[in-house]
Amino acid sequence: MSAPGTAEQPLRAPVDGGELVATVWRADASGTPVVAIHGITANHRSFSPLAARLESPLLAVDLRGRGGSRALPGPYGLVQHAEDVAAAMRAAGIARAIVVGHSMGAFVAVRLASAHPELVASLVLVDGGLPLRPAPAGSELSPEDVLGPAIERLRMTFASTDEYRAFWRQHPAFGPYWSAAIEEYVDYDLVPVDAHAEVESATGALRPSANPDAVVANLVELDGRGGYADALVGLTMPMLLLRSPRGLFDDSPGLYDDEWLATWRSRLPQLEVGDVENTNHYTILMGSGVDDVAAAVARLAPVEQREGR
């Protein structure tokens, strides 16, 4: 499902272990290319609404262990994801782009910009990319504590597309904001059960595409460990963070409270921050917030063009 006049071109990029699945929208458009990187349990169809609002080429990938790239083996770390995105850019003929990352995808965008600054003109970090506030001393949050239904579903099976849609309609951050774009994203995420997959229930024939092992491997990296924080601080290109006031369950607060955000703004003088009101962690991209994301891309595109890159 794409907007009228929005041509889609499938892409398979050679990477370590196989091929990365991606889509390029408006491959022949003349605007500054945009590369889009999805969240931790998501897939590249989360960027369909953004693609419909841009006049530039937009490349969106299924990260290793998700969507059409589910079968790719590990490692699943942020550094590997960044190398995979770089390979997809080469396969698409994109030499330099505005990179948009949502949630964990923003962390991948930072790793890409650090490893390959020549590829990244600027960064739009959509409710992600800054290390998450550490858990209180002596405690450790589980994946279920952080992601709730988004992680629980990965070990479930479903008998039909309708059953999977019904699951998502009960999610507090999705159900009240249901749309054709969200439905397409959910439908794409459902795949046949792997022949040798270990699942908790064998009553259904379908399962979500994200590999639970890949998700857990990335979740532990979101506190800035492994040199990530240093990589972020070392960046020099323009960066714009769009923050949602509500979190993963449509509640408040969102991922980054004011105090934590101020700490990171003091370390990143080039970082601009914009709050996208009346959105949660998901609708900032797949709901009413997508216009703000498109506006952020448009703001950064003239900078790229003026500098003749």
State both tokens at 135.
């858990």
Q: Does the pLDDT at position 1 exceed 60? A: no
Q: In this predicted structure, what is the pLDDT of residue 67? A: 97
Q: Does the pLDDT at position 3 exceed 50? A: no
State both tokens at 288.
């009413």
Q: Determine which helix (DSSP H) or strand (DSSP E) holds 107, and give its type and residue range.
A: helix 104-115
Q: What pLDDT digit, counting tens, does each position of 223-279 carry?
A: 999 999 999 999 999 999 999 999 999 987 899 999 999 999 999 999 999 999 999
CB-based contact 254:245 (threshold 8 Å)? yes
Bridge pairing between strands 58-61 and 97-102: unpaired
CB-based contact 92:114 (threshold 8 Å)? no
Q: In this predicted structure, what is the pLDDT of residue 141? A: 59
* CB proximity list for 30: less than 8 A, separation 6 or greater: none
SS3 302: helix
Measure the CA–CA gap between 307 and 171, rounded to whole angstroms: 44
Q: In this predicted structure, what is the pLDDT of residue 303? A: 62
Share of the chain above pLDDT 70, in %: 88
User: Residue 20: beta bridge partners?
Assistant: 13
The pLDDT confidence band at residue 196, using thresholds 50, 70 and 90, is very low
Measure the CA–CA gap between 248 and 149, rounded to whole angstroms: 10
Q: In this predicted structure, what is the pLDDT of residue 305? A: 56
Q: Which one-letter DSSP state was computed for residue 158?
A: B
Q: In this predicted structure, what is the pLDDT of residue 134? A: 82
Q: In this predicted structure, what is the pLDDT of residue 4? A: 41
CB-based contact 39:20 (threshold 8 Å)? no
User: Which has the minimum average pLDDT: 130-139, 197-206, 258-267, 284-293?
Assistant: 197-206
- CB atoms under 10 Å from CB of 121, counted, come to 23
The pLDDT mean for the chain works out to 91
How would you write 201-253 as a 3-class SS string?
CCCCCEEECCCHHHHHHHHCCCCCCCCHHHHHHCCCCCEEEEECCCCCCCCCC
Q: In this predicted structure, what is the pLDDT of residue 81? A: 98
Q: What is the largest CA-CA distance in the chain?
A: 57
Bridge pairing between strands 18-25 and 58-61: antiparallel
Q: Does the pLDDT at position 308 exceed 90? A: no
* Rounded mean pLDDT, 106-111: 98
* Rounded mean pLDDT, 26-43: 95
C-alpha pair distances (Å), 287 with each of 162, 201, 255, 258, 291:
21, 32, 18, 23, 9
Q: Which one-letter DSSP state was computed for residue 133?
A: P
CB-based contact 125:242 (threshold 8 Å)? yes
Q: In this predicted structure, what is the pLDDT of residue 59? A: 98
SS3 36: strand
User: 95 or 140: whose pLDDT is higher?
Assistant: 95
Q: Which domains does the chain have, with CATH numbers?
A: 8-134+212-306 (3.40.50.1820)
* CB proximity list for 108: less than 8 A, separation 6 or greater: 37, 63, 78, 81, 82, 85, 101
Q: In this predicted structure, what is the pLDDT of residue 2? A: 44
Q: In this predicted structure, what is the pLDDT of residue 24? A: 98
The pLDDT confidence band at residue 152, using thresholds 50, 70 and 90, is confident
